């Protein structure tokens, strides 16, 4: 059985209200995302995938602190302080493999050190500081997407799967024609989310 699946990329998008109502949380998130962008030159700081469940509800499946989770699309979107871009996976997606993968990932601890390493692995000094095993059970966002694509047989087994930042995973999917190009993306800016787009 096949199912429509989307890759979601998240880039920082803060509004005045974020700092008024949640000043410490918003400031901390802004600092973290700024540091990531400084060292990696990455446009994105998070990546996830989205699908419709058996009840017709759009869900986001993502590796995000503190554990891998599956949440309502709106919950992921409105708590992210991000501009979200949705890209349809244009290759056939086997629904059983997708759902089996998510069950296996659900509840796995988030790998903060791995996420940091993925952003700085091209910088020798920082690489030594953050380097980690490729086989541990913790997981971060771009690593989970690599594993998903392997499970769906869209890519072959990837060595050093924990070396990929969200930006690098996104570029790889474009290169391999797994997702449609940028001009086919739907952009949600914090005040607008359109699930009708996902149903096309």
pLDDT in tens, 23-58: 555 565 666 556 666 655 667 888 999 998 888 888
Count the domains in the chain.
1
Q: At what angle do helices 112-120 and 23-40 cross, to 10 degrees?
A: 40
Share of the chain above pLDDT 70, in %: 64
Share of the chain above pLDDT 90, in %: 30
Domain residues for 60?
5-198
Q: State the CB neighbour count (10 A cutoff) for residue 171.
A: 13
pLDDT in tens, 139-161: 999 999 999 999 999 998 887 77
CATH value at residue 168: 3.90.1720.10
- Give the H/E segment covering residue 7: strand 5-12
Whole-angstrom distance, CA of residue 15 vs CA of residue 5: 29
pLDDT value at residue 102: 95
pLDDT range class, residue 114, cuts 50, 70, 90? confident
Q: Is the pLDDT of residue 100 over 70?
A: yes
For range 131-146, the mean pLDDT: 78
Q: State the CB neighbour count (10 A cutoff) for residue 103.
A: 10
In the chain, the N- to C-terminal Cα span, in Å, equals 18
């Amino acid at each position: 059985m096949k199912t429509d699946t989307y890759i979601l990329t998240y880039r920082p998008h803060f509004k005045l209200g974020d700092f008024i109502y949640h000043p410490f949380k918003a400031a901390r998130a802004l600092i973290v995302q700024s540091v990531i962008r400084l060292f990696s030159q990455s446009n994105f700081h998070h990546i996830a995938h989205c699908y419709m469940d058996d009840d017709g509800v759009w869900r986001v499946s993502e590796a995000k602190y503190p554990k891998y989770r599956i949440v309502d699309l709106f919950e992921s979107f409105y708590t992210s302080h991000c501009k979200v871009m949705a890209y349809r996976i244009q290759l056939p997606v086997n629904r059983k493999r997708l759902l089996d993968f998510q069950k296996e990932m659900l509840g796995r601890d988030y790998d903060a050190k791995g996420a940091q390493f993925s952003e700085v692995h091209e910088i020798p000094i920082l690489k030594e500081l953050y380097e980690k095993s490729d086989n541990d059970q913790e997981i971060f966002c771009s690593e989970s997407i690599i594993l998903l694509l392997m499970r769906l047989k869209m890519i072959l087994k990837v060595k050093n799967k924990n070396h990929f930042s969200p930006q690098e995973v996104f570029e790889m999917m474009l290169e391999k024609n797994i997702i449609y190009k940028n001009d086919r993306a739907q952009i949600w800016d914090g005040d607008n989310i359109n699930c009708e787009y996902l149903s096309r």
